[in-house]
Each structure stands twice: as structure tokens, then as C-alpha cells.
Chains A and B, each alone.
Chain A
Amino acid sequence: MSVLLIAEFDQQSLKAATRSAITAATQLGGDLDVLVIGHNVNAIAQQVAKVQGVTRVLVADDAAYAKPLAENFAPLVQGIAARYSHILAAASSFGKNLVPRVAALLDVDMVSEVTKIIDASTYVRPLYAGNLNATVQTSEVIKLLTVRPTGFTAAKDGEQAAPIEAIATLGDQSLSRFVSENIQVSERPELGTASVIVTGGRSLGSAEKFEALMSPLANKLNAAIGATRAAVDAGFAPNEWQVGQTGTVVAPDVYIAIGVSGAAQHIAGMKESRLIIAINQDPDAQIFQWSDYGLVADLFDAVPKISAAL
């Protein structure tokens, strides 16, 4: 039994979500090959080689792979799939875009957003925005999965480096073309992997107030800033800050919800957090039912006091 994991990285480094997926992959058992698809990715391949649990690094280096277009990546994965019992990636926007395309090329049904691995063919995944957990079993010859990073700890670097091997590439399939990207550069930790998150809701009132209230607190706690969908839709915060079923699913050590009502969509994205703290003016807010600690208070009074005291 051999497992293939598709790595995700930015210009500098392997994504933390992929390190979590490596942990999931090692729970399946067998050898673990990690596939690095990109252009000029030697440094990334060397980083991957050091991660604990990796047996071998496969590198597909081609100018056509400079940007992660599923149309170009999927046939490459399909071409080497027969060697593997499992193929997986993190359930990030990258993995969710790519793995189903590979699954269809292989004519297999996949399992997405796996939160727990029971054995090599049995997994747990959420349904209905996390209100239910399903245990699913697959008898496909090649099992394709995406794994939710919050369900698995990130694999650390080990003592030894795995061998690195180049594999043949297939070039551009000419179905799509990368035009541009707009990635928010921030000094703050990444939302998906931050250990502390402070999230603001619509009751913060405006983009200016959101910034004025949330930034000092986030800076003090070295926290990522999140936002509810309502706050994002109202234009208080960018979409990439959205925590929830349709935004980023998070599970930090500490989650601080400020002026968050606790809609089901939002709860689905944060209820696995280790410690949840909520501040809201409304004592009946749903969020208090999910909180370890709750405080009923005026945000504009309480939050600056907290920021100043820390």
C-alpha cells in the first residue's frame, strides 16, 4: 500500500495545511510519496523531503505548472495514480479544486473534507454544515480524499531527508489560463492555522470601527482576524477573513467572537476551537451556547478595555 499526497505551497514554503494532510496520510499506513507540482520548485521539494513521515518526494517541474490550474495538474496525477492505494490533499481551495477533477478522470468517487481516519478505507466527514458527522467507507481501488487541516496536527520536520525524484510532465492542456491573483499580504498569522483568532460580527457597525476595535486586540494576542459572513457582506472586512461553512473552517486554541450572533453557518466554521470566548450585548445570542466563557457587554466599551489591559 502506497499513499500519494499532493503538496500545496506558496513561493516561499510548504503550506501548514499540507503538513496537516501529511499527518492524516501517515495514519493510513504504507509509504508516503509527496508530489510537488510547480515551476522552479527545488527549494520546496527540499523542504518537503525533511518532513517527518515522507518516504519520497516526486517533483513535476514545468513552466505550465507555474500556477495551480487543475486542468493541467489533474492529468499528471492521473498518470501516476495506478501506483497508489490512496491519493489525497488538504481540503483547502487548492485541494478542493483539484482532487475531484482527478477522481473523475480515474472514474472513482471520492471522499472530501475528512476530519478523522478510522482505518485505511473508513473515514469521518461532516454533513449539513457540521450538524452531523457521517462515517463513510469506500471500496474504490484508488481512494481519493481531501482532509480538513483542522482535524490533524501539522507534521514537523524530522532528522532525515527523503529522496527527491523528478517525474515526467505533460505540459499545458490549453483549457484555462491564469490571468492574475490578489492575495492579501498580512503580518498576522494565517487564518486557517492561527492559534488565536479574534472574529468580529456585523454589530461592529463599519469598516472603520471594525479595524479600530479588532486590530489592537489582534496585535496584543498575535491573533489572526476573522469576520462573520454578515460583516464581510456589509463590507467591514475582506472575504478571505470569513469564518464559516462557506468561508474558512478554523479550530484555533482560542477563538474570541466579538459581536457575533452565532448563525449556524458561522458555528460550522469554528465550533471545533479548543476554547471559545464570546462578547455580545445580546444575552440571548446563540454564540453563548457554544462558548466556554461569555460576557454580556457593550463591545465599544469592553474591547478597548481588554486591549489596554493585556
Chain B
Amino acid sequence: MKVLVGIKRVVDHNVRVRAKADGSGADIASAKMSINPFDEHAVEEAVRLKEAGVATEVVVVTAGAANAQDVLRHALALGADRAILVETTDHLNSLASAKVLREIAKREAPQLILIGKQAIDDDAAEVGQMLAALLNVGQATFASTIKIANGKAEVTREIDGGQETVELTLPAVITADLRLNDPRYIKLPNMMMAKKKPLETIAIADLQLNTVSKVATINVAEPPARAVGKMLNSVEELIEVLQAQVKVN
């Protein structure tokens, strides 16, 4: 069984992102970039499926500029077998990203597609569901447990107030939540090996897609700062605040 994993290069989760002064976007020109954390969980899960003998090959794909090779190498170091870069300097919205993944899925014909539940830059959580619709296959979003057997995936999903388990006929798309696994620490030899693994580059023009979005960002700004709070001196003062602010049972 082949597993395709979609990943995205985003500003590292430890970086505090600010708006550009002219409001045209986020100021990320010199920010440290990393693999989107949720996508790292998706790669880890795919690699574990291979280690368990369920998957035979793990292929990772991203769309972006040439420098997005770094997150593909990261995924290869985690244990993916080969990587595909769909090269573009354009910003792709969710639907365009889903269409790129659809084209790669058509070429690769994976039985399972894994992707993070959302990217930590736009926090949209849309691409997996869109891809599943475009491929007319089942979807399990926000997955915390995945079991593959007999051409089906049994997936436990995090939903409001609890969990839900669904069964999907393969091929299918599953989006990874943080609870799915703990991505492994990458050792130096794995990093060296990843440099030798195949990385194919495809120009986005070759996919012949319309990737222009009708959703445009017209301004990006920081939310208004909260007024400076008051530090209290005793438990008694806090009790007074609570008694004034909250109706007690």
C-alpha cells in the first residue's frame, strides 16, 4: 500500500509573527521556517504504517518555492521514501492546494493520503476535506487513531465533546490531529541518508491547473492589545473580585 503525505512549509511555531507596517500581510521575510507541525504528525504516522508492514512506500509532496526542499528533506529524514516538490512562487489558497494534491494523487495512485488537520499559518483546516471531495473518496478529519485492515481504515476522530470512530473504504484522506502520535527525534545519520533519497521537482505549469483564488486578503493587522491588568495582593482580594463578577451557585 502506497501512502501519500501532503506537507507545508510554514513559519516555525516558536516564532511570534507580526503584521507588515502597511497591512499587506504577515512579516515573515526573515522568519525561521519549518514543516507544519500537524503535517509532521501525518508523516510520522505514514512511516509507522510502513514500519508495521501495512504501507510499502511513503511519498511526501509539497507545493512551494525551491527552498521548500528543506521540509521535504525533513520528511525524508523522518522516514519517507521519496519526495515531490511542485514548484511555484505563487501563494496557493486551500482549493488550489487541494487541486495540486489531486493531480499528484492521480499520478501516484496512493491507497491512503495523510495530511495535517490544519496549517499553523492560515489555520484554515480545509485542504484535506477539499481533496477528499475532489477525489470523491471518504475523509476522516482530526484523526487521533488510525487502524488499517482489509482495504478499510478505522479512524477515531476528535470531535466537540468527545471522539467518534468511522470506517472508510480505501482510498481515503485522513487529516492528523496532534494526538495521533509523537513525531520521532531525527538523528544525524537519518539526516545524511535523507540527502540521498529521491526528490523530484514538477513545475506547477505542467499540472495545467487554474490556481487563482477569488478569496483575497485585503489587510492584515495585529489585534488590539489588552489593557494592562491588575495584580492582586491576597486570596481575599481575588474572592472579592469573583463575588463582584460572577454569580455564585
Contact = CB atoms under 8 A, between A and B. Distances in A.
Contacts of B165: 178-181
Given A109-B215, A131-B16, A277 B123 contact: no
Nearest to A278: B229
Interface of chain B, main secondary structure: mixed
Nearest to B179: A239
A69 B246 contact: no
A23 to B, nearest CB: 19
A309 B16 CA distance: 40
Given A297-B235, A306-B239, A140 B230 contact: no
A130 interface: yes
Nearest to A179: B165
Contact of A105 (B133, B137, B239): B133
A290 interface: yes
A108 B95 contact: yes
A131 B217 contact: no
B130 A133 contact: no
Interface in B43-96: 93-96
Interface string B163-201: 111111100100001110000000000000000000000
B26 interface: yes
Interface of chain A, main secondary structure: mixed
B106 interface: no
A240 B161 contact: yes
Nearest to B168: A176
B248 A310 contact: yes
A293 B214 contact: no
Contacts of B163: 181-182, 239
Contacts of A279: 238
A266 B191 CA distance: 32
B207 interface: no
B239 A222 contact: no
B160 A92 contact: yes
Contacts of B241: 277, 293
Contacts of B249: 219-222
A122 B216 CA distance: 10
Given A177-B167, A179-B167, A181-B165, A104 B133 contact: yes
A137 B246 CA distance: 39
24 contacts: A70-B141, A100-B127, A101-B129, A128-B26, A129-B123, A133-B221, A134-B219, A134-B220, A176-B167, A176-B169, A178-B165, A178-B166, A181-B159, A181-B162, A181-B163, A181-B165, A182-B164, A221-B249, A256-B242, A276-B229, A277-B242, A293-B229, A294-B230, A302-B235
